[in-house]
Amino acid sequence: MRNAEARTRIFDGALWAVTSLAIAAALYAVFLYAPTERTMGDVQRIFYFHVASAWVAFLAFFVVFLASVLYLATRNLQHDLIAASSAEIGVLFTTLVLITGPLWAKPVWNTYWTWDPRLTTTLVLWLIYIAYLMLRAFAGEEEKTARFAAVFGIIGFLDVPIVYFSIRLWRTLHPKPVIGGSEGSGLHPTMLITLLVSLIAFALLYATLLRLRVRLERARREVRRARLALNA
Amino acid sequence: MSKLGFLFTAYLLIWIVLAGYLLSLFTRQRRIDRELLNLQEQLKRRS
């Protein structure tokens, strides 16, 4: 038991160290390595953390989707625990997208917000998962909540491909995809490396936060069970 | 605000939001651990 605890502590420490190093590398790449974009200037450097936040939010919501499917298939509450934790972190990263996007848009489009398909679907995505977290916070019995939340988590995920493809399907102000986009699109190699480093840093940050959030959720459920046992 | 001002604000807000979330995680964990310990003691006393 003690060995397992020591191993967990070592793993957590190592994960923190690697995440911190990756974030430092990403900041170095964003501010010192990546070239200044010709038309937008320095403000384009928001792009690296804006896109990384969006991709990690998609990853978090995909984990919610996967864990929800697994919960419905197996009724194992461990999957529900992961879904609940990942949803909160997905909302956190979507919040970062919704903060950095308008700050990038203002100097480039001359407006903080426009009801553009990409922006609107992203806001809807954020609201869907806020509703998901509220459902969890206010529902009663553990298994019933898990069942409802799993169905919500699966249906809510439908908005992720809509957000992703919105800039391909509709006319939009938002920049077209820079990876896997149309001919002539793409990134300068140093910009691409910077984006990948930022993406790795944020993915590691997601993993670190998920471990912390899962631990919290586990303790919260233990408290609920202890309260029930005490009241029985 | 200048373009550099927007860049600075964006990165500052990213760190404020992340730090706030981390702080909330630690605070919630500490509170829940304390409550769990308290409940376990009550259960032990009762049994």
The verdict on residue A201 lying in a domain is yes
Range with the lowest mean pLDDT among A7-16, A75-84, A223-232? A223-232
Answer yes or no: is A22 within a domain: no
Cα torsion A176, A182, A185, A187 to 10°: value is 90
Task: Give the global pTM.
Answer: 0.91
Question: How far is B39 from chain A, CA to nearest CA, in Å?
Answer: 6
pLDDT digits (tens, 9 = 90+) for B33-43: 999 999 999 98
ipTM given for this complex: 0.91
Report if residue A52 sits inside a domain. yes
Q: Give the Cα separation of A218 and A127 in Å (integer).
A: 25
Residue A185: its pLDDT value, please? 61
Are the beta carbons of A95 and A123 closer than 8 angstroms? Answer: no
Q: Could you tell me if residue A194 is inside a domain?
A: yes
Q: How far, in Å, CA of A212 to CA of A53, rounded?
A: 19
User: Could you tell me if residue A131 is inside a domain?
Assistant: yes
Q: Do A103 and B10 touch (CB under 8 A)?
A: yes
Is residue A41 in some structural domain?
Answer: no
> How far are the Cα atoms of A30, A55, A85, A140, A158 from residue A200, in angstroms, in the given order?
13, 10, 20, 38, 25
Tens of pLDDT along A1-28?
678 888 888 999 999 999 999 999 999 9
> Do the domain assignments include residue A5?
no
**Residue of A12, A45, A103 to mutate, testing the B interface (most B Cβ within 10 Å of its Cβ):** A103
pLDDT digits (tens, 9 = 90+) for B1-31: 788 899 999 999 999 999 999 999 999 999 9
DSSP A131-183: HHHHHHHH--SHHHHHHHHHHHHHHHTTHHHHHHHHHHHS--SSPPPSSS-ST
Full residue range of the structural domain in which residue A53 is found: 47-175+188-231
Set of chain B residues whose Cβ sits within 8 Å of the Cβ of A20: none
Quick check: is A13 in a domain? no
How many domains are contained in chain A? 1
What is the reported pLDDT for A170? 79
Tell me what pLDDT residue A180 has.
Answer: 61
Q: Are A219 and B10 inside 8 Å of each other by CB?
A: no
